Amino acid sequence: AQKITQTQPGMFVQEKEAVTLDCTYDTSDQSYGLFWYKQPSSGEMIFLIYQGSYDEQNATEGRYSLNFQKARKSANLVISASQLGDSAMYFCAMRVMNRDDKIIFGKGTRLHILP
């Protein structure tokens, strides 16, 4: 069965520091995609970054990068130079590209950026 685990319910980080949000996943399928979303208090889920299981390079999008370690089944999100506006819930998600094509989300990590 597929599963996403985010072990950090909440984190407090000083502004301008780098942040790593942990995500581990479990699947026996070879073809899958990993996503990170940000959900501010307004409620909208904002897409941040995507990593395909066959991508050899770690994905990067501006201040966001995904530390993909396939053998360890981890897909941690790294935010460089954190800003006050980064305070939000962050969700890791996985989509398995097989017949069932399931999409599952982790329980999220609440990030607080301190001034």
Contact between 64 and another protein per CB under 8 A: no
Give the binding-site size for another protein (rule: CB under 8 A): 25
Closest CB 67 distance from another protein, rounded Å: 19
Residue type, 1: A
**Residue (86 or 90) nearer to another protein, CB:** 90
Q: How far is the CB of 63 from another protein (least distance, A)?
A: 18
| Among the residue ranges 13-21, 31-39, 67-75, 79-87, the one whose residues contact another protein (CB under 8 A) | 31-39
**Of 25, 76, 95, 113, which lies in the binding site for another protein, with binding defined by CB under 8 A?**
95
Report d(CA 97, CA 115) in Å as an integer. 41
Q: Please, what is the minimum distance in Å from the beta carbon of residue 79 to another protein?
A: 19
In degrees, rounded to 5, the angle at the alpha carbon of residue 67 between the alpha carbons of residues 94 and 45 is 45
**Contacts with another protein, residue ranges (CB under 8 A):** 4, 33, 35, 37, 42-47, 50, 52, 91, 93, 95, 97, 100-108
